[in-house]
Amino acid sequence: MPSILVTGGCGFIGSNFIRLALSEDCSFLKDNGFDKIINLDALTYAGNPANLSDLEGDSRYQFVHANILDQALIEELLQDEDVMALAHFAAESHVDRSIDGPEPFIETNVTGTLRLLEAAKKRWLSLNEEKQAVFRFLHVSTDEVYGSLSKEDPAFCETTPYAPNSPYSASKASSDFLVRAYHHTYGMPVVTTNCSNNYGPYQFPEKLIPLVILNALDGKALPIYGDGKNIRDWLFVEDHAWGIMDALQKGALGETYCIGGRSEMENIQIVKRICALLDELAPISENPNVESGKIAKYEDLIKYVKDRPGHDRRYAINCDYIEEKCGWSPRETFDTGIKKTVEWYLANKQWCKDITDGNYARERLGNS
Ligand code: NAD
Ligand code: DAU
């Protein structure tokens, strides 16, 4: 019963990946001879089992509550469950948190990745030659490892030198180098993807897009760091998930692939776009959380706040290489993706409430 192990599958991108891989219109499992997906997640503040509650009872899905630091448990799991591929999403992922406290980022993103690589190496070495040839370790990384671009610079690509600027990106860069080293030194069959900013359903509301949607609906301030002109390259989360599947199946060993949406936008443009969509889909006149007459449109809630320390100015991805080599390209435009996203948050108020009722959210949301 060969299986694929996903780490961090209760988070934003991992849960979207698992749902898509198990969906009717996706032949990923069948094409690769996997009978099931095992999701190993430590359920940190960002890991939410509700993200995959719709898969309960699906025999092709199994959840394991564990930490990637637990190498012995993972070694046993890989062997017992005949794991033939790993898709490694688990990480501390929020830049602001890494600025407040870098240590968990080093533990999970660096030491955790090292332990996972060690366990995967042991499993890979235990296989016969034929099985070794199909075994894969896919490492999910970020474009932030490349640092910051000026407006005139060409977009990041696979050969851009690493220049991480935050504790988060430094920890991801370290993990990328470990993965690279395991290929170079031990011949491990690894593939790395470096993706731009994702958005879509199930994103934890500490990140810009869900934070703005939920704060606006609650009639709270929409915090814009600095002058709001920092640029990110946005990709709908399912497009990232498709890219990971393509890289797993068609990616060359030891290779890295940049994934992005060719959708560069200033933060202020994004926030205004969300506000315009909310004006249309959840008019203020019908929103009981906004004091009547206080504001005319959601945009009026925008508030410029102190900038993020070391805030990278611009990210942009040139994704020609994965398009050419793996046949991947984004299916959503920003217009279609952001509409789906806003509609999802409006249709899933209980999911949002369950998160915003928690202690973490009380401390963070709306306090800016
Ligand atoms: P997320 O914070 O939403 O989810 C992370 C998940 O990992 C959570 O379920 C959490 O419980 C789990 N986790 C954390 N530490 C763990 C540990 N020690 N052991 C086991 N599980 C642990 O993150 P995300 O936004 O879904 O990002 C997933 C991956 O994609 C990360 O590696 C991130 O660096 C990368 N990435 C994210 C983006 C983005 O825009 N969000 C873009 C490019 C790359
Ligand atoms: O580029 C990929 C990266 O994108 C991933 O590796 C990270 O895991 C992911 O969190 C994301 O990092 P960012 O720092 O770009 O995402 P965030 O949503 O935190 O911020 C997006 C931009 O919006 C950034 O320029 C900071 C700004 N911002 C963010 C928040 C939370 C604000 O102006 N106000 C806010 O309240």
Instruction: Please state the length of the chain.
Output: 368
What pLDDT sits at residue 4? Answer: 98
**Within a domain: 286:** no
Q: Parallel, antiparallel, or unpaired: how do β-strands 222-225 and 302-305 relate?
A: parallel
Place of tokens 């990110």: 232
What pLDDT sits at residue 361? Answer: 52
Tell me, what amino acid is at 12? Answer: F
Number of domains forming the structure of the chain:
1
Pocket test for ligand 2, best of 197, 315, 317, 341 (most atoms within 8 A of CB): 197
Residue 192's domain is classified under what CATH number?
Answer: 3.40.50.720
Cα 230 versus chain centre, distance? 20
The ligand minimizing its distance to the Cα of 315 is 2
96 alpha carbon to ligand 1 midpoint, in Å?
A: 14
The ligand minimizing its distance to the Cα of 39 is 1
**Within a domain: 8:** yes
What pLDDT sits at residue 364? Answer: 47
**Within a domain: 49:** yes
Full residue range of the structural domain in which residue 14 is found: 3-199+236-262+312-334
Report the nearest-CA residue for atom 28 of ligand 1: 89
Pocket test for ligand 1, best of 45, 74, 89, 319 (most atoms within 8 A of CB): 89
Place of tokens 């296989």: 127
Distance between CA 88 and CA 109 in Å, rounded? 10
77 alpha carbon to ligand 1 midpoint, in Å?
A: 21
**Within a domain: 258:** yes
**Within a domain: 48:** yes
Pocket test for ligand 1, best of 7, 10, 12 (most atoms within 8 A of CB): 12
Distance between CA 329 and CA 331 in Å, rounded? 6
Which residue, 123, 92, 74, is CA-closest to 12? 92
Q: Which sequence positions are flagged as catalytic? A: 143-144, 168
DSSP readout, 328-362? Answer: ------HHHHHHHHHHHHHH-HHHHHHHHTSHHHH
6 alpha carbon to ligand 2 midpoint, in Å?
A: 24
**Within a domain: 355:** no
Which residue, 37, 32, 31, is CA-closest to 7? 37
Distance between CA 103 and CA 344 in Å, rounded? 34
> 153, 314 in Cβ contact below 8 A?
yes
**Within a domain: 278:** no
18 alpha carbon to ligand 2 midpoint, in Å?
A: 23
What pLDDT sits at residue 118? Answer: 98
| CA-88 nearest atom, ligand 1 | 32
Mean pLDDT by 10 residues, the chain (368 residues): 97 98 96 97 96 95 98 98 98 98 98 98 98 98 98 98 98 98 98 98 97 96 98 98 98 98 97 98 94 90 98 98 98 97 96 78 48
**Within a domain: 367:** no
Which protein residues touch ligand 1 with a CB less than 6 Å away? 7-8, 10-14, 41-44, 46-47, 67-69, 89-91, 93, 108, 112, 140, 142, 172, 195, 197-198, 204
